[in-house]
Amino acid sequence: MKTTQLLHNLGQSLWLDNITRDLLNNGTLKRYIDELSVTGLTSNPTIFDHTIKSSAAYDTAIREGLAKGRTGETLFFDLALDDLTRAADLFRPVHDGTNGVDGWGSLEVSPLLAHETAKTVAAAKELSARAGRPNLFIKIPGTKEGLPAIEEAIFAGVPVNVTLLFSREQYVAAAEAYLRGIERRIAAGLNPQVGSVASMFISRWDAAVAGKVPETLSNRLGIAVAGRIYKAYLDQLSNPRCQRAYNHGARPQRLLWASTGTKDPKASDILYIKALASPFTVNTMPEATLKALADHGELASTMAPDGGDCEQVLAEFVKAGIHVDALAARLQDEGAKSFVKSWNELLAVIASKGDALKKSA
C-alpha cells in the first residue's frame, strides 16, 4: 500500500498544492485522486503565474476572453474559475461521500484587498456565487483586516480557507472569527454548516532562520510551531463554545498544513509530511512532495496531542535570539506582500501573453 494511502487511512486529507489546465486536460489530477489518495487542492497567484507563463493551454481561453473585452483581473478570474470548477467537479464524489468534510478546491481573492475588509467580503461573495460549487473555498488572509472579513463571509454562507497563518495566536484569532460567523448564523436561524479550514504555513519559518541558528536547530522551528498550533487546535475543538455550535449542526474548522515542501536541499524531501501526520487535519503539498511521498515515503508516528517537546524546542530558539512572535508577524506581512508581487506578475504575464496572441492572430 502506498504511503499516501496510509496517511489518508490515518485520517489526514492529502491535498495538492497546485492546479494547471494541463493537469486537468491530461488526466493527471484524476490519476492523483484515484492512485495517490488526493482529496482536494489549493491554488494561489504564484501557481497560476507559473502555469500561464509556461503553458499554451490557456492561449485559446485568453484569446476568447480578449475578444469579449475581458482584461486584467476579470480575465484571470475567468481562467481560474474554469480550472477550479472542473477540479471541484472531480472532487465532488469525495465531498458528497464525506458530507462536505473533504473534497474541496480553493480560490484566492485578489491579494490587493488583503487590508480592505469590505471589499474582501464583496469579492468573496461574488467569486463563490460565480463558481456555483458547494466545494470551493474562497481564500481570505488571516490578517488584522482579514479577520472581520472571514467572520462576515462565514455569516454570509461563503466557505473560507483562512490563509497566511503562521503562529498559534494567529490561528486562534482566525478560529474565533470563524466561530463568531457560525454563532451569528445560529442566532439568525440559518444553517451553520459552512465549511472552513485554517491554513498554517510551516516551511517559511525554517527558511527565515536558516543560517541564523545553531546547526542542531536547523529545520526544527516550523515543526515546533506546528506542535504548538496542533495543541491549540485540539483545545479549540473541545472548548464549550465550539461544542455548543456543533450541537446546532455546525462542523469544525479543520487545521490545514500549508507550505510543506522542503526548502533545504540537505533535508528530507518529506520532512514536513512525516512530522505533521495527524488525524482530522489537511496537508496540502506541492506536486514533487506528493510524488516523493508515494515513491519513498514512510510514516513514523503521529503528532503528539499535547505538542510534544515543542515548547522546549521553541525555548532553544529564543536562547538563540529568535523572537518567535515578532517573526510570526513579519512572516505574515511578508507573505501578504509576496502574494501582491505574484499577483502583479500574474496580471503582467496575462497582458503580455494577450499582446503576443493578438500579434500572431
Annotated catalytic residues are 139
Distance CA 208, CA 205 (A): 5
Look at residue 17 and give its three-state secondary structure: coil
Look at residue 40 and give its three-state secondary structure: strand
CA distances from 100 to 107, 135, 152 (A): 17, 7, 21
Distance CA 21, CA 181 (A): 34
Distance CA 290, CA 226 (A): 20
Distance CA 103, CA 133 (A): 11
Q: Do 183 and 245 form a contact (C-beta atoms < 8 A)?
A: yes
The H or E element that residue 160 is part of is: strand 160-165
**Which residue's C-alpha cell is 518529506?**
270
The letter for the amino acid at 169 is E
Q: Do 127 and 145 form a contact (C-beta atoms < 8 A)?
A: no
Distance CA 81, CA 51 (A): 15
- Quote the cell numbers at residue 263: 526548502
- Quote the cell numbers at residue 326: 515578532
The letter for the amino acid at 243 is Q
CA distances from 348 to 64, 73, 206, 228, 335 (A): 18, 10, 31, 40, 20
Neighbours of 205 (CB within 10 A): 27
Phi, psi of 141 (to 5 degrees): -70, 145
Phi, psi of 281 (to 5 degrees): -135, 175
